[in-house]
Amino acid sequence: MTPTRKANPMEHRIARWLLAAFVLTLGWNFSAPAQAQDSRQLYEQGKLYYKQRLYHDAKKAFMKLIKTTQGQQSFNAHYYLARCYYKTGQIGSAITTLQIAKGLMKRNSHREAYKRFASKLLALYGKLTFVPEVDPDEVGRVKLKLVPKTAFSNKDKAAYFNGVMARIKRQGGLKLDNKPIFLPKGEYEISIERDQCLKLGFFEGEKVAGDLSIGDSPVSLSVKAKRSCNCPSNQKVFTEGKRQYCACAKGTGWNKEKQICEVVKQNNPWPWIITGIGVVVVGGTVAAVVAVTQNDGRRSFQFTAPGGGQVKLWK
């Protein structure tokens, strides 16, 4: 009787590795067709939603698809996802995803589809970046005011722009995180809403940016801690708690006719009495204008100094 040779520990380990590899191969052979089937279903589902203009539903299907093994290498999956982003107003995501699709092109039909869509995107939209030269955490969100100089003739551009501005307003302003935003190409007026504009400004170099042109080249604006909107004429900025406002300096009053702050001459106060009834400043002294009804029904006005002393009466 021939004695049985015992396998050494190394042989046991090799046998276990071979068995595990065989099981994994079997599993792949069974699961690969199933994964391919799932990917195909997601693609067809996304295409169907897209044709029905259900772009949000189509986007969800294609987002699931690009996470699969087949979808990761699929030009069509990324191309249609980019189109869904475009249709739902996510221009930045559309451009990024289309660039991924560009690296997956294998056929001439892919190249033609990419060229047509990329040309459309680049023809309609440009990139704008805000570079903070202030502490974003201290400043918080910036209340951006952006107005196109001419109305958009392209309905996609108009809808996208309105969506961008609505989203910024809904979020309480623009977040200074160095992330670019994409805007329809064109000419804009740009500013920061009061009261923030008395503390911050958009700058192009050292110049306050009041106009903005979005074109083929990326645009960058700095956000600095400097006043970007000036008070009318020679008015000054005053602070009351957290609120800032423009007013004439103490000892002066607003001359409505000249649209400037001036020291009021005592011998000729009347240019300062504009509205008839209210408070005026004459020579640094606060006085009141009150209406007086005469016996005959006519109204006259009197200019009253502090303490009740009557200065002038006129009709």
Q: Write down the pLDDT at residue 34.
A: 53
* Other beta carbons less than 10 A from residue 40's beta carbon: 12
Query: How much of the chain, in percent, has pLDDT values that exceed 70?
Result: 70
Range with the poorest average pLDDT among 29-38, 90-99, 225-234: 29-38
Q: Write down the pLDDT at residue 183.
A: 93
Range with the poorest average pLDDT among 102-111, 122-131, 253-262: 253-262
How many residues are recorded in the chain? 315
Measured between its terminal Cα atoms, the distance across the chain in Å is 140
Q: Write down the pLDDT at residue 15.
A: 58
Summarize pLDDT for 243-269 with one digit per residue, the tens.
677 788 887 888 888 888 888 665 444
Q: 199 and 134 share a domain?
A: yes
Read off the CATH number of the domain in which 35 is found: 1.25.40.10
Q: What is the largest CA-CA distance in the chain?
A: 146
Give domain status of residue 99, yes or no: yes
Give domain status of residue 200, yes or no: yes
d(CA 90, CA 78): 14
Q: 134 and 66 share a domain?
A: no
Tell me how many domains the chain contains: 3
Record the tokens describing residue 166, joined without a space.
């609505």
Give domain status of residue 301, yes or no: yes
Whether the Cβ atoms of residue 172 and residue 141 lie closer than 8 Å to each other: yes
Q: Which residue has the higher pLDDT, 274 or 14?
A: 14
Give domain status of residue 216, yes or no: yes
Record the tokens describing residue 265, joined without a space.
């001459």
Record the tokens describing residue 248, joined without a space.
């004439």
Look at residue 254 and give its three-state secondary structure. strand
Q: Which stretches of 171-258 are DSSP H helices?
A: none
d(CA 123, CA 139): 34
> What is the distance, to the nearest Å, from the Cα of residue 285 to the centroid of all Cα atoms in its chain?
46
Q: What is the mean pLDDT of residues 124-148?
A: 92
d(CA 244, CA 235): 12
Q: pLDDT class for 45, splitting at 50, 70, 90? A: very high
Summarize pLDDT for 47-58 with one digit per residue, the tens.
999 999 999 999
Give domain status of residue 14, yes or no: no
Q: 208 and 180 share a domain?
A: yes
Range with the poorest average pLDDT among 46-60, 97-111, 223-237, 269-283: 269-283
Read off the CATH number of the domain in which 129 is found: 2.60.40
DSSP state of 142: B
Give domain status of residue 6, yes or no: no
Q: Write down the pLDDT at residue 278.
A: 47
Give domain status of residue 17, yes or no: no
Sheet holding 144-148, edge to edge: 144-148, 186-192, 211-214
Domain residue limits at 50: 25-106
Q: Which of 75, 106, 137 is the last residue of a domain?
A: 106
Across the chain, mean pLDDT equals 78
Q: 132 and 214 share a domain?
A: yes
Q: Write down the pLDDT at residue 271.
A: 46
Q: 88 and 147 share a domain?
A: no
